[in-house]
Copies of this chain bind each other. A is one copy, B any other.
Amino acid sequence: MPLFDLPIEQLRSYLPDRDEPADFDDFWQRTLTEAAAFDLAPEFKPYDLPFTTVDVFDVSFAGWGGHRINGWFLAPRGVEEPVPCVVHYIGYSGGRGFPKDHLVWPASGYAVLVMETRGHGGANVGSPGSTPDPHGSASPQAPGMMTRGVLDPDDYYYRRVFTDAVRAVDVAAGHPAVDAARIVVEGGSQGGGIAQAVAALRPDVKAALIDVPFLTHFRRAVEITAADPYQELVRFLATQRDRADDVFRTLSYFDGLNFAARGRVPALYSVALMDDVCPPSTVFAAYNHWQGPKEITVWPWNRHEGGGGFQTEEQLRYLHKLLAGA
């Protein structure tokens, strides 16, 4: 059934209880503090393409554990004032792809920092990656990244990713072409889940653009969708039948609901009502918990592609208005 989740009227007010560990904030403070011990060590290597209006850099910096995290940095060429910067996080399975994939931001007068999600990008033909995850796992895992280290919050894959993502904001802020007061975090699906977390952990960003976010409301997601990547969790739970409590305890430190409840910056969400990858109730649950100024675009007939280019144009207009006022 295409409309498999709650009806839109109920979604608008769906505000489920959150499963939040008592030391949620401590966990993240400790995590980021530990990471701060590693120098950020950003590198911006000019990347040779016959572009005439955009400067492209092959970026890397030290993320969690000091591991090198790669990305792209693009900025409009020949601009004299520092410009706002979008920090872009990537969807599940993808790598940074190619500079050409990210031109919408410099064409609009912004810089963009594209951060790779470590360990992804090895099998997405449209979006190759270059950043490995040199950290293994202290527990067995299902193929994919969803269960790498899932038995222990300290060992969980997304602890490293969210830390990388917070530090990427610093990388952007430190570049001379960027106006550090106007940094926006942005992403779709996994990238949306990351942007949502970073916006909570870094309340100094200017705004968050969160499309069909993943990594949000795990409990419900694993019960109502049969699609990957949430199903990686189900496969693990089905196999490691005696470890469910550990899994859900770990996930509670990473659930988008708990980040949304700490979100204070302006946010533009989007959701698709036929999305069986990131079901609409999981998105609205986060949106309804978000504490800052917020808007949500609803795509009634779409699946996980959400609004696509329509949503990008919404975002351009939203940012244009928001940043003009800054």
Contacts and interface: CB of A to CB of B under 8 A. Distances in A.
Interface of A: 1-4, 49-54, 76, 93, 95, 97-98, 100-101, 103-104, 106-109, 119-126, 128-145, 147, 222-226, 231-232, 234-242, 244, 274, 299-303, 305, 307-310, 312-313, 316-317, 319-320
B238 A309 contact: no
A107 B98 contact: no
Contact of A53 (B1, B53, B124, B308): B53
8 contacts: A1-B225, A2-B225, A49-B313, A98-B313, A100-B309, A106-B107, A133-B137, A241-B308
Contact of A76 (B53, B136, B308): B53
B103 A222 contact: no
Contact of A119 (B51, B137, B234, B302): B137
- Give me the 4 closest cross-chain CB pairs, A-B, nearest first: A98-B309, A123-B142, A52-B109, A237-B301
Nearest to A130: B140
A140 to B, nearest CB: 4
Copies in the complex: 6
A3 B104 contact: no
Given A53-B109, A107-B52, A241-B301, A132 B122 contact: no
A223 B101 contact: no
A273 to B, nearest CB: 9
A137 to B, nearest CB: 5
Contacts of A224: 1-3
A308 B3 CA distance: 30
B309 A97 contact: yes
Given A125-B305, A147-B122, A53 B134 contact: no
A137 B134 contact: yes
Nearest to A103: B103
Contacts of A139: 122, 132
A52 B237 CA distance: 31
A303 B1 contact: no
Q: Which of A122, A128, A130 has the most CB of B within 10 A?
A: A122
A308 B121 contact: no
Contacts of A95: 140, 239
B140 A119 contact: yes
Contacts of A307: 241
Contacts of A100: 103-104, 107, 309, 312-313
Given A3-B224, A236-B123, A238-B302, A136 B138 contact: no
A97 to B, nearest CB: 6
Contacts of A98: 308-310, 312-313
Nearest to A4: B1
Nearest to A128: B239
A299 B241 contact: yes
B134 A140 contact: no
A240 to B, nearest CB: 6
A267 B151 CA distance: 34
